[in-house]
Amino acid sequence: MSILVTGAAGFIGSNFVLDWLRGCDEPVISLDKLTYAGNLQNLASLQGDARHTFVLGDICDRALVDSLLTTHQPRAIVHFAAESHVDRSIHGPGEFMRTNIDGTFTLLEAARGYWSALEGEAKAAFRFHHVSTDEVYGSLKPNDPPFTETNTYEPNSPYSASKAASDHLVRAWHHTYGLPVTTSNCSNNYGPYHFPEKLIPLIIANALAGKSLPIYGDGQQIRDWLYVTDHCSAIRAVLAKGRVGEVYNVGGWNEMPNLQIVHTLCDLLDELSPAASGKSYREQITYVTDRPGHDRRYAIDARKIERELGWRPAETFDTGIRKTVQWYLANQDWVANVLSGAYREWLETNYASRS
Ligand code: NAD
Ligand code: TYD
């Protein structure tokens, strides 16, 4: 048995694959196009590990996906691959429509063909797990209850609209064709291998580089934050025990305004890696023009996954954010490579010797 993981070289995908192979010996086939956000260095510790196969390719390539399914006969597809950054979706939405919508459609069609031809136990056990976001539900007012799985979809950015479209496709492929799907909608993740264009790794990298720490608008926008390995354990729980056709909201019960996140990061850095100037990193905070259409608040009601599958996050925000800052301090080369594009050269080095 094996599983096929799309987007496995990205932030959450790589954490998921590393976590999976730490916990069991079931092989993983990783499919990733290695866009700017995909980084094989995230999976470097698996080099030479017979349980892991990396395939460079696009989820929109139907022939490739078909051949991977035929060759490896996975018992599940875990679908992370996506364009994931809201600000990029505002500057250039095209790639978001292609990967997030067309790509999910292609995978669903390939999965449907593969699953239809399976028989008996293999057919009954097969799962297509779709990894999605709380952003599909839109923006909450200060006193609104957190999002449940039955909230209406009100996506506001090109990114969330493309993810909402993909969720609807997954739902329809179950409803119409019986494809055994599950979906999880998760809040903002943080942790190791987070690409430094997103708030938390960007603030850490900029602080250490002596650059300004940009706060969009008034910094009072609220997100719920979940440590990435808790998201991975939630997906494993859904894969193992989730009911087919169901949606599970995943969150950390940890709503926080952006400014508070940035203050926390500055305080941790002041403690763990004080600036040579003796000044607090808080002094680098700068307010910048807000993101157009910026959602004010997201919050997740994660009671369904707790009630049905017994899942709860293992990390609190305090433990998770400290681990995250420590990881970035210990892995400043990773950040430097990503920012300099040096990991692309590493890719060439890695692939030059392969057929
Ligand atoms: P990421 O941008 O770090 O990684 C995405 C990965 O997908 C990259 O490795 C990229 O190379 C790959 N990819 C992109 N287009 C592809 C294509 N056409 N074919 C094959 N591979 C392709 O994203 P992430 O933060 O790891 O998010 C993973 C998934 O989780 C996404 O579906 C995202 O919507 C969802 N999600 C993310 C968060 C979060 O806080 N980051 C929260 C909830 C849900
Ligand atoms: P981000 O990490 O891009 O995730 P998302 O937009 O998917 O929630 O941003 C998290 C929050 O931080 C969001 O409200 C936008 C804000 N933000 C800033 O204030 N400054 C920044 O430089 C970035 C990248 C984000």
3-195+226-254+294-316 is a CATH 3.40.50.2000 domain? no
What pLDDT is recorded for position 61? 98
- The residue from 32, 134, 224, 315 that is catalytic is 134
- Best probe residue, ligand 1, of 42, 80, 85, 338 (max atoms within 8 Å of C-beta): 80
Closest residue by Cα to atom 9, ligand 2, is 199
- CA of residue 199 to ligand 2 center, whole Å: 5
Report the sign of the C-alpha dihedral through residues 344, 65, 175, 123, in that order: negative
Name 133's bridge partners. 186
- CA of residue 253 to ligand 2 center, whole Å: 19
Select from 11, 166, 15, 8 the least CA-distant residue to 74.
8
CB 254 within 8 A of CB 226: yes
253: which residues sit within 8 A by CB, 6+ positions away?
Answer: 224, 300, 302, 313
Q: Does the CB atom of residue 334 touch ligand 1 within 6 A?
A: no
33 alpha carbon, closest ligand:
1
CA distances to 25, 98, 134 from 249, in Å: 28, 25, 8
- Best probe residue, ligand 2, of 198, 266, 285, 286 (max atoms within 8 Å of C-beta): 198
- The residue from 32, 58, 83, 159 that is catalytic is 159
- CA of residue 68 to ligand 2 center, whole Å: 35
Annotate 195-224 with b (16+ C-beta within 10 A) or e (fewer).
bbbbbbbbbbbbbbeeeebbbeeebebbbb
Q: Please report, for the chain, the start and end positions of each structural domain, with discontinuous segments joined by +.
A: 3-195+226-254+294-316
Select from 87, 77, 85, 105 the least CA-distant residue to 36.
85
Name 130's bridge partners. 79, 183
Select from 204, 206, 88, 212 the least CA-distant residue to 157.
88
Mean pLDDT by 10 residues, the chain (355 residues): 98 98 98 95 96 97 98 98 95 96 99 98 98 98 98 98 99 98 98 96 96 96 98 98 98 97 98 97 96 97 98 98 98 91 62 54
Closest residue by Cα to atom 13, ligand 1, is 81
What pLDDT is recorded for position 118? 98
State which ligand 1 atom lies nearest to the alpha carbon of 32: 21
Q: Does the CB atom of residue 5 touch ligand 1 within 6 A?
A: no
CB 234 within 8 A of CB 184: yes
Q: Does the CB atom of residue 30 touch ligand 1 within 6 A?
A: no
